[in-house]
Amino acid sequence: MGDDTKSNTKLLDELEKGPWPSFVTEMKKAAETNPMAKDLLGQLELSYEERIGHWKHGGIVGVMGYGGGVIGRYSDVPEKFPNVAHFHTLRINHPSGWFYTSEALRKLCDIWERHGSGLTNMHGSTGDIIFLGTKTNELEPVFQELTQAGFDLGGSGSVLRTPSCCVGQARCEWACYDTMATCDSLTRAYQDEIHRPAFPYKFKIKCSGCANDCVAAIARADLSVIGTWKDDIQQDDAAVSEYAAAGLDIQKDVCDHCPTKCMQWDGKKLAINNRECVRCMHCINVMPKALKPGKEKGATLLIGAKAPIMQGALLSSVLIPFVPAAELLDTIKELVSRIWDFWSEYGNNRERVGELIQRIGMPAFLDAIGLDPVPEMVTAPRDNPYIFFQTKEDGQETK
């Protein structure tokens, strides 16, 4: 199509200017061989001209037996752009940590060029591989080819969304547990929950190996699994001195940024009060050769985050402050079964578990899932007035 496309997409052409990669350029490349991509450009240009979207979404399209993984999408101007009259999205369950062989990627792309627009998102915000745009009658064939290639659909709708994790111990020295094995085990264990919608709304599990939280679990996951350690930060004093000698201002760049001010630098020695450390990873990020997470590793389990587009973002709250790495998988499975039972029973339609907790209160939720409140659930002193501790002797409340 070449010049023909250019003359018909004056507004989109603006997005090809400048030094950055352009999605318009990529779509134009796809449009040279794929009529869906060509009509997609046309419809998008129309949307830019009219300042209105021309997509309808939802419906009953899917593959046999699955309730997730396909998101129906239709053009509301099919007479103008018949090749995108159906333009369904597929979510493909990504491998843990997003590791692929180049052969696997070629295979995926070949499948998609045969059955869809050839356009992809690597990756969607859920973590899945996103195949953008195919017709209803191509859904079963593309699913068959994907499964033959060892892939499966991911989650969409009121299901356990495809669990995701950071690269963990495969590429990161700070991972406090095996995020990839945890994510893979959860994905295999909960195939029913991923493919057969039975929840009030979506439920996301994201596994980060440390508090750097590279998959933003604390901001997005209904159940966040964030690696941490229980003992002291491992410290190499000679390496600390090397950082100082190389010009790092340890007082300014490390101690002053510590959220609990648990570190002191006297110009020669760095002293860490580990009892006050909240394992935020800042000092370790600044001096990776001198400081490392402790040896007693595991994870914190947190509940209730959501990241909506418009308003009402929630960060997750601590449920279990520390689970040793060896007990992590069993603990998660035991915990989610209690959470899902309660949420499925009492959650309203389209109510995330964090919203349920806001509605009924954390004490009622903890009671329902059989957990006792612990001090680590308190964000800051006198900040969470719902928890009252009692002395054993006289039962007197101490807030």
Partner 1 sequence: MAVPLETLVEEIYKMVVDLQGKKNVRAMSLTKAMIDKYGAGEVNKEDCKHAIRQLIDSGRCVYGYYGGESFITIPRKEEAASG
Contact residues: partner 1, CB under 8 A: 56-62, 64-68, 70-72, 74-76, 78-79, 85-86, 136, 156-159, 196-202, 344-345, 349-350
**Residues 143-146: contacts with CB within 8 Å, 24+ apart?**
143/63, 145/111, 145/114, 145/115, 146/92, 146/108, 146/111
Local structure of residue 50 (DSSP, 8 states): H
For partner 1, give the closer residue by CB, 28 or 161. 161
- b/e burial code for range 109-140 (CB count within 10 A of at least 16 → b): eebbeebbbbbbeebbebbbbbbbbbbbebbe
Nearest distance in Å: CB 199, partner 1: 8
For partner 1, give the closer residue by CB, 337 or 379. 337
Q: What is the DSSP string of 154-179?
A: ---SSSBPPPEE--GGGT-TT-SS-H
Which residue, among 356, 394, 357, 353, has the nearest Cα to 373 in the 3D structure? 357
Q: Let me know: does 298 contact 323? Beta carbons within 8 Å.
A: yes
Q: Which helix (H) or strand (E) covers residue 206, if one does?
A: strand 205-208
Nearest distance in Å: CB 74, partner 1: 5
Q: What's the half-sphere exposure (Cβ side, CA atoms, 13 Å) at 195?
A: 15
For partner 1, give the closer residue by CB, 174 or 201. 201
Q: What is the DSSP string of 262-318?
A: -EEE-SS-EEE-TTT-----HHHHH-TTTEE--SSEEEEEEE--B--SSS--B--EE
User: CA 260 from chain center: how many Å?
Assistant: 28
Angle at 128 between CA 123 and CA 134, to 5 degrees: 90
User: CA 237 from chain center: how many Å?
Assistant: 36
For partner 1, give the closer residue by CB, 237 or 341. 341
Nearest distance in Å: CB 208, partner 1: 24
Distance of alpha carbon 201 from alpha carbon 220, whole angstroms: 14
Which residue, among 279, 324, 276, has the nearest Cα to 298 in the 3D structure? 324
Residue type, 109: C
For partner 1, give the closer residue by CB, 174 or 340. 340
Nearest distance in Å: CB 159, partner 1: 7
Nearest distance in Å: CB 285, partner 1: 35
Beta strands 223-229 and 205-208: pairing type?
parallel
For partner 1, give the closer residue by CB, 74 or 112. 74
Nearest distance in Å: CB 33, partner 1: 25
For partner 1, give the closer residue by CB, 93 or 96. 93
Nearest distance in Å: CB 192, partner 1: 8
For partner 1, give the closer residue by CB, 269 or 338. 338
Distance of alpha carbon 263 from alpha carbon 240, whole angstroms: 13
Nearest distance in Å: CB 370, partner 1: 18
For partner 1, give the closer residue by CB, 62 or 124. 62
Nearest distance in Å: CB 65, partner 1: 5
Nearest distance in Å: CB 222, partner 1: 13
Angle at 46 between CA 40 and CA 49, to 5 degrees: 145
Q: Let me know: does 304 contact 289? Beta carbons within 8 Å.
A: no
For the chain, the first-to-last Cα distance in angstroms comes to: 71
For partner 1, give the closer residue by CB, 101 or 137. 137
